[in-house]
Each structure stands twice: as C-alpha cells, then as structure tokens.
C-alpha cells in the first residue's frame, strides 16, 4: 500500500516551453501532497505544499508563478514548470501523505519515483 506514481519519469523540452508533471496516489487519498526538487548529488529541497481544493503554500524563494501547482482531487497533484529554462533542469519528486481517514494514515510522507526534467 501507499504507492505514489509520477508521470512522466523523464522529459526533455526546449527552453521557453512549459512542462506538466503529474503526481498520483494510487491506493490512498492524500489531502496533502508535497513537491521537492533535487539537484545532482544534493539533498531534497521542499518547494511547496499542496492541499486539495486550496492554493499551494510555497517555500521561501520558490516562484509560484513559475511553478504552478494544482491539486484538483484527493489523488492527483500537478506541477507545471512554466517557460522552462536550463537552470530549471532538475529531478522533481512529489510525496503524499494519507488523509486521517485512511487505514494507512501516519505522519509519514510516501514518495514518488521522481521526474527528471532536462531543459535544452
């Protein structure tokens, strides 16, 4: 249980285009999802917290107009990198926490496999 998927697993795009990354909780409902960014050989940095049906909360230094987050349902959150540039190239990882009503509910986050974005 507690499986999180991401799509696509990798994407290459041209500079100036927008890219959408999906994060799904497959066997549980997640009221809260999180988006992280990981640079090569570095740790994960929390970008934003996404709550179903409300606006995302962004961490300091993260441009909310550049990284658009939508959490339209209890099992899906999307991250759109708008007008991507080479410096946006990174490994983007989402995580989800089961809601209180879920059998698997804990205070832990379950992570997706990540999406590698390369902007040319």
Give the footprint of another protein on this chain (CB under 8 A): 4, 6, 32, 34, 41-46, 49, 93, 95, 97, 107-114, 116
Give whichever of 74 and 114 is closer to another protein, judged by the CB atom.
Answer: 114
Give whichever of 51 and 82 is closer to another protein, judged by the CB atom.
Answer: 51
Smallest separation (angstroms) from another protein to the CB of 16:
27
Q: What beta strand segments (E) does the chain contain?
A: 4-7, 10-13, 19-25, 30-38, 44-51, 57-58, 67-73, 76-81, 90-98, 110-111, 115-119
Contact at 8 Å (CB) between 119 and 86?
Answer: yes
Smallest separation (angstroms) from another protein to the CB of 49:
6
């Amino acid at each position: 249980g507690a499986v999180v998927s991401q799509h696509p697993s990798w994407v290459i795009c041209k500079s100036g285009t927008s890219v959408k990354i999906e994060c799904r909780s497959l066997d549980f409902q997640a009221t809260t999802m999180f988006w992280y960014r990981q640079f090569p050989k570095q740790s994960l940095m929390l970008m934003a917290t996404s709550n179903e049906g409300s606006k995302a909360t962004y961490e300091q230094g993260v441009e909310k107009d550049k990284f658009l987050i939508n959490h339209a349902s209890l099992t899906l959150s999307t991250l759109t990198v708008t007008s991507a540039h080479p410096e946006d190239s990174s490994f983007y990882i989402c995580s989800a926490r089961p809601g209180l009503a879920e059998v698997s509910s804990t205070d832990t986050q379950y992570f997706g496999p990540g999406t590698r974005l390369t902007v040319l």
